[in-house]
Structure 1
Amino acid sequence: MHEIADTALVAVNLGTPEAPTAPAVRRYLAEFLGDPRVVSIPPLLWKPLLHGLILPLRGPRSAANYAKVWMEEGSPLLVHTLRLASALQSRLPDWRVLPAMRYGQPALRATLRELRASGVRRLVVLPLYPQYSTTTTASVADLVAEETGGMDVTLIEDYSTDAGWVGAVADSVARFRDAHGEGDHLLFSFHGLPQRVADAGDPYPQRCQGSAGAVAAALGLEPARWSLSYQSRFGRERWLEPATQDELDRLADAGVRRLDVVCPGFAVDCIETLEEVALGLAERFAARGGSLRYIPCLNDADGHADALARLARCAAGSGKCGPDAR
């Protein structure tokens, strides 16, 4: 007996190059940075700069960074997203569960068109961004609106303080500390955002603060034992503060020697967590006399898949909803 007929879940991540090479990275970045939701500079000004300067410079550098963390099966973000989708499929056996990327492959647009053509009537779209932002979730919503006319669609916009997801992150941190000992401090590092985007009303900073506070509360941490920062900034304009590298320096100056870092804005591990944090920032902190221990993303952990499957059922009207639903 089917719980829901003709229902599909599309789990959408940001995207990744198809290979750790400069041409592949340039193709990916051209699509990503060409999205006006990501960069709001008028195209007549932005496109010549993007294609004439930024992509030629960033392509080789980014390719070298991808090569440091590339897995035998491919890009970490893609590998872990596929594994998470498989874990969700096992929990939703009467649904179709498909992974998709907003930029790159498997392309979200093509996935939505295939589902629509195949006669799927009920569609739940889960952007794998726990904290809503106009630069990420809203971009997915734009494309979904273009491609799903006539379908019954629910977009899960935010799960930044969902009880099941918060519990999964807290359990992951607790298990890591049980296995490796508790660090002096826990740093929540989220992907950054230009300050002007937040000033224009994007609620992302408040969602990040909500996530970090909820996880810290679940762990029973006193305020002095944790902090929040923003990573991955580029360009010269002001971004959300404090920057993760500046927070590392502050903590080192304050005498923190064993620092645990978790990145709960990322559903799965990727270049930003593995190369930027676990390698690059760990080296920076070591130069200050400390040890940075990176706590992996939830990836396809049971608690993560359980929480997201419950969110999907709730969105389709077939599960227990509410902030305390587990």
Structure 2
Amino acid sequence: MVLFNLGGPDSPEAVKPFLYNLFNDPAIISVPWPVRPLLARLISSRRAPVAREIYAEIGGRSPLVPLTEEQAETLAAAIGESGEGEAKVFIAMRYWHPMADETARFVKAYGPDEIVLLPLYPQFSTTTTGSSVKDWKRAAQVAGLDVPTRTVCCYPLEEGWIAAQADLLRQAIRKSGEGPVRVLFSAHGLPKKVIASGDPYQWQVEQTSAAVAEAVGADMPEWVVCYQSRVGPLEWIGPSTEDEIARAGADGVGLVVVPIAFVSEHSETLVELDIEYAELAAHKGVASYVRVPAVATHSSFVAGLARVVGEVRGRAAGSVCPNGGRRICPAVHGRCPATQV
């Protein structure tokens, strides 16, 4: 198995090249070469000082790689205990080490009989899973890695993922006190033009949020889906998390914030949600502010990933939806990669 995630800088010096790799991805900035690398160099140079300050808040580096390694170890153990046979779990980060080329060489040396590509993005987007899969195919070809490969396209409604989120959310609701609260399911935003092109990400985020709310049951407060981390001049999907924080202050309700599209802690949870948005909430007079932790190695989540891997094994090579192989996205989301409707 190969787990995909974004990656993050492992030192202050790595911040600028990490940002360059990010903005040089055609899935992120869709302008042609050679304009894109020039633009990526300009943006990364301008953003690097601010980004270094952000990472300084959490020790000068991203915790994403070590946390993903923990998830890989836990998943390998869970699959071994399930009787599915010997499994080796590798990790491949999209924008910093270990990247696809490095991991493909390691996988080639290991000599697997089959490969399952498993994104740690529960909801599919062309900007995350789509980009990682495309880069992996390139790297595998360079490495001479020609092995039957199944790609998990997404798992926004997987029962273990939903159960883990619901469990952590219930705990946070209890911590929020006696006053009225509102739950914000906060996901990384995308430009509207990406969604308009047929990307299913927003629809899947909304499906996940509704399923978690239903799983919490009678104790579930009112809730809303919102989006964070906007950058650049384009119009982004909304409502924004910042606007929802301000609205909660005006309405006199506390907040419980759920990172509904992230499975690991990183700068967007540890800095943006925990520091910047908490300060905004205090400024806007929000009565209480509780952030739900990422699912990480929650037993239900890991068990769910193991089920997903077991389900896609043996299916035809290609992109597979862990829903009996059936595509779950409506036809309007034409960039969903699952081939069976």
**TM-score > 0.5, shorter chain as reference:** yes
- Superposed displacement of residue 286, structure 1: 0.6
- Superposed displacement of residue 245, structure 1: 0.4
Q: Structure 2 vs 1, CA of residues 177 and 64 (structure 1 numbering), >3 Å: closer, same or farther?
A: same
- Superposed displacement of residue 56, structure 1: 1.8
- Superposed displacement of residue 222, structure 1: 8.6
Say if 2:232 is the partner of 1:245: no
Q: What percent identity do the matched residue pairs reach?
A: 34
Counterpart of 2:195 in structure 1 is 198
Q: Structure 2 vs 1, CA of residues 198 and 116 (structure 1 numbering), >3 Å: closer, same or farther?
A: same
Give the gaps of 5 or more residues in structure 2. 81-85, 316-321, 325-341
Instruction: Report if the CA contact (8 A) 1:70-1:76 is conserved.
Output: no
Instruction: Report if the CA contact (8 A) 1:116-1:151 is conserved.
Output: no
Instruction: Report if the CA contact (8 A) 1:122-1:152 is conserved.
Output: yes
Counterpart of 2:337 in structure 1 is none
Instruction: Report if the CA contact (8 A) 2:187-2:227 is conserved.
Output: yes
Say if 2:279 is the partner of 1:283: yes
The letter for the 2-side match of 1:59 is A
2:293 aligned to which of 293, 296, 302: 296
Counterpart of 2:70 in structure 1 is 83
- Superposed displacement of residue 142, structure 1: 0.7
Counterpart of 1:105 in structure 2 is 97
**Greater shift in the superposed pair: 177-186 or 130-139:** 177-186
Deviations 1:154-174 (A, max 9, x none): 111110111221111111111
The letter for the 1-side match of 2:69 is L
Counterpart of 1:5 in structure 2 is none
Say if 2:201 is the partner of 1:211: no
The letter for the 1-side match of 2:29 is V
Instruction: Report if the CA contact (8 A) 2:124-2:153 is conserved.
Output: yes
1:30 aligned to which of 1, 20, 38: 20
1:68 aligned to which of 36, 54, 57: 57
Task: Give the TM-score, by structure 2 length.
Answer: 0.85
Instruction: Report if the CA contact (8 A) 1:168-1:307 is conserved.
Output: no
- Superposed displacement of residue 76, structure 1: 1.8
C-alpha distance in structure 2 between counterparts of 1:180 and 1:30, whole Å: 40
Q: Structure 2 vs 1, CA of residues 194 and 221 (structure 1 numbering), >3 Å: closer, same or farther?
A: farther
C-alpha distance in structure 2 between counterparts of 1:162 and 1:266, whole Å: 15
- Superposed displacement of residue 180, structure 1: 5.2
Instruction: Report if the CA contact (8 A) 1:12-1:108 is conserved.
Output: no
C-alpha distance in structure 1 between counterparts of 2:219 and 2:239, whole Å: 20
2:306 aligned to which of 306, 309, 313: 309
The letter for the 1-side match of 2:171 is R
Q: How many equivalent residue pairs?
A: 307
Say if 2:165 is the partner of 1:173: no
The letter for the 2-side match of 1:255 is G
**Greater shift in the superposed pair: 29-38 or 114-123:** 114-123
Q: Structure 2 vs 1, CA of residues 156 and 222 (structure 1 numbering), >3 Å: closer, same or farther?
A: same
Deviations 1:233-286 (A, max 9, x none): 101110011111011112221221x21001120110100111001110010011
Q: Please list every run of at least 4 consecutive aligned residues from structure 1 whose deviation after the TM superposition is greater than 6 angstroms.
A: none
C-alpha distance in structure 2 between counterparts of 1:305 and 1:223, whole Å: 24
- Superposed displacement of residue 177, structure 1: 2.9
- Superposed displacement of residue 47, structure 1: 2.7
Instruction: Report if the CA contact (8 A) 2:176-2:256 is conserved.
Output: no
Counterpart of 1:3 in structure 2 is none
Counterpart of 2:327 in structure 1 is none
C-alpha distance in structure 2 between counterparts of 1:139 and 1:131, whole Å: 13
Counterpart of 1:4 in structure 2 is none
What secondary structure is seen at the aligned counterpart in 2 of 1:15?
coil
Instruction: Report if the CA contact (8 A) 2:176-2:289 is conserved.
Output: no
C-alpha distance in structure 2 between counterparts of 1:221 and 1:60, whole Å: 46
2:48 aligned to which of 56, 59, 78: 59
1:12 aligned to which of 4, 23, 27: 4
2:115 aligned to which of 123, 140, 151: 123
- Superposed displacement of residue 198, structure 1: 0.6
2:37 aligned to which of 34, 37, 47: 47
**Greater shift in the superposed pair: 169-178 or 190-199:** 169-178
Q: Structure 2 vs 1, CA of residues 273 and 97 (structure 1 numbering), >3 Å: closer, same or farther?
A: same
C-alpha distance in structure 1 between counterparts of 2:209 and 2:176, whole Å: 21
- Superposed displacement of residue 121, structure 1: 1.8
Counterpart of 2:137 in structure 1 is 145
What secondary structure is seen at the aligned counterpart in 2 of 1:92?
helix
**Greater shift in the superposed pair: 297-306 or 174-183:** 174-183
C-alpha distance in structure 1 between counterparts of 2:48 and 2:323, whole Å: 44
C-alpha distance in structure 1 between counterparts of 2:67 and 2:172, whole Å: 19
What CA RMSD, in Å, does the superposition of the two structures yield over aligned residues? 2.0
